[in-house]
């Protein structure tokens, strides 16, 4: 077993390999010191340093369509705290590793289920992706320009924010509850519901009359000239987010916005014309020149960095927010802890790398393991 440190040291997680949000949840737990064993469907004897979501995990390759493979998973559950799966509803049950089977093996097990639509409802069995889920939650409707279709915000809002992070939150809630009740339970995470919760502030503002149920006309959706990104003279971009009066006053001073037309910050009818004027001003200098003038001030400013630039920004370097491992640039584990700080994650293991070690820890002897290999249970 690999040595671990971090606030989740001692937590044992079984992750049935999937795509996107479930592995991200496992990565978050592994980053914080949990022992995460990823069960993949096929071994591959090659390094995969680019598989960032697999960092810090161990990997075993098991044929889940075999009785012995199912028995192996249930045996893992006996000593685990958590199991994560991201199948369509009913698939885990058909394989023989659904909640009933796994909680029978370990009544204290927390069984985390990750889907887009949820485990029930009219859409539960339909295929879908992040974009579909955030469309149903109301999140996508507000993203983009008013005269164009909504723009996908990568797959951050559904898969990772509304999905993986809500699953991690649910797991830790359940871990706390189990410490008192001694009982396991099933967590049903829907990316529709997770992304809807991310929109809570907009729903509150809409109820108060402060948010219009339209795209590109509100304070935080790119309509305001003091809360947007702008192109610079060198074809790069900066962001300005001077919402509060004191920050807005500083913005006016730094950009020379002295004319009376800028006095009424929240006159929405004037926002388009004033945005054009601010854009023309920003175009007069390069991104680095704007950084020199505005960075570290209370204008609420930051340059728009590309993914290849983030490592070398002075703030990110100071905070060690990113690192390179085997030539792969990746974000560091977050958040930071004052006392139980996690170590830098181990590089991703290749699929099936830990077959023998994990089974030996479960009590399988050499003959047992060789038989599982020979019969295609370990693949």
Rounded Cα gap, residues 282 and 293, in angstroms = 12
Using the structure block, give the residue that is written with the tokens 């905070």: 319
Instruction: Tell me if 323 sits within 8 A of 332, measured CB to CB.
Output: yes
Given the residues 81, 159, 221, 354, select the one marked as catalytic. 159
CATH of 12-198+328-374, one of 3.40.50.1820, 3.40.50.620, 3.40.50.10540, 3.30.420.40: 3.40.50.10540
Among this protein's residues, is 368 annotated catalytic?
no
Is residue 188 helix, strand or coil? strand
Q: Identify the burial level of 352 via C-beta atoms within 10 angstroms of its C-beta, where 0-12 means exposed, 13-18 middle and 19 or more buried.
A: buried
Instruction: Tell me if 14 sits within 8 A of 80, measured CB to CB.
Output: yes
Closest CA to 89 of 70, 68, 64, 116: 116
Among this protein's residues, is 50 annotated catalytic?
no
pLDDT value at position 67?
96
Q: Identify the segments of the chain with pLDDT beneath 50.
A: 1-3
- The topology (CATH level 3) of 227-319 is formyl-coa transferase, domain 3 (3.30.1540)
Q: Where are the domains of the chain?
A: 12-198+328-374, 227-319
pLDDT value at position 45?
85
pLDDT value at position 1?
45
Q: Identify the bridge partners of residue 301 per DSSP, sorted by sequence position.
A: 240
pLDDT value at position 221?
96
Using the structure block, give the residue that is written with the tokens 């971090």: 6
Rounded Cα gap, residues 166 and 46, in angstroms = 32
Please give the model's pTM, rounded to 2 decimal places.
0.95
Q: What angle do CA 336, 4, 327 make, to 5 degrees?
A: 70
pLDDT value at position 25?
98
Rounded Cα gap, residues 169 and 318, in angstroms = 28
Is residue 322 helix, strand or coil? strand
> 98-130 b/e with 16+ CB inside 10 Å = b?
bbebbbebbeebbbbbbbbbbeeeebeeeebeb
- CA 343 to chain centroid, in Å, comes to 20
Look up residue 377 and give its DSSP letter.
S
């Amino acid at each position: 077993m690999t040595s671990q440190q971090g606030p989740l040291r001692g937590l044992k997680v079984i992750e049935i390999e999937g795509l996107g949000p479930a592995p991200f949840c496992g990565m978050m737990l592994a980053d914080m010191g949990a022992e995460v064993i990823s069960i993949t469907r096929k071994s591959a004897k090659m390094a995969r340093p680019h598989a960032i979501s697999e960092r810090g995990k161990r990997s075993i390759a098991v044929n889940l369509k075999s009785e012995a493979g199912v028995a192996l998973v249930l045996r893992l559950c006996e000593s685990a705290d958590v199991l994560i799966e991201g199948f369509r509803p009913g698939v885990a049950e058909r394989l023989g590793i659904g909640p009933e089977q796994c909680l029978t093996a370990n009544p204290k097990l927390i069984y985390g289920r990750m889907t887009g639509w949820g485990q029930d409802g009219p859409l539960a069995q339909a295929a879908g992706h992040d974009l579909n889920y955030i469309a149903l939650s109301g999140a996508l409707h507000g993203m983009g320009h008013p005269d164009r279709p909504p723009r996908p915000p990568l797959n951050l809002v559904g898969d990772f924010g509304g999905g993986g992070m809500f699953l991690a939150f649910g797991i830790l809630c359940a871990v706390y509850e189990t410490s008192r009740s001694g009982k396991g339970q099933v967590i049903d995470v829907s990316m529709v519901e997770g992304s809807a919760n991310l929109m809570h502030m907009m729903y509150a503002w809409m109820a108060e009359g402060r948010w219009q149920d339209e795209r590109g006309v509100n304070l935080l959706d790119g309509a305001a000239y003091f809360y947007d990104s702008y192109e610079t003279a060198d074809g790069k971009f900066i962001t300005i987010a001077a919402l509060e009066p004191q920050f807005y006053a500083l913005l006016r001073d730094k950009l020379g916005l002295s004319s009376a037309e800028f006095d009424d910050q929240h006159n929405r009818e004037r926002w388009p014309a004033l945005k054009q004027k601010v854009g023309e001003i920003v175009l007069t200098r390069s991104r680095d020149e704007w950084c020199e003038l505005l960075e570290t001030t209370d204008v609420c400013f930051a340059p728009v960095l590309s993914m290849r630039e983030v490592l070398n920004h002075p703030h990110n370097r100071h905070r060690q927010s990113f690192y390179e491992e085997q030539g792969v640039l990746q974000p560091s584990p977050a958040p930071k802890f004052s006392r139980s700080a996690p170590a830098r994650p181990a590089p991703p293991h290749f699929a099936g790398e830990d077959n023998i070690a994990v089974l030996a820890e479960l009590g399988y002897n050499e003959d047992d393991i060789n038989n599982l290999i020979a019969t295609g249970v370990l693949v």
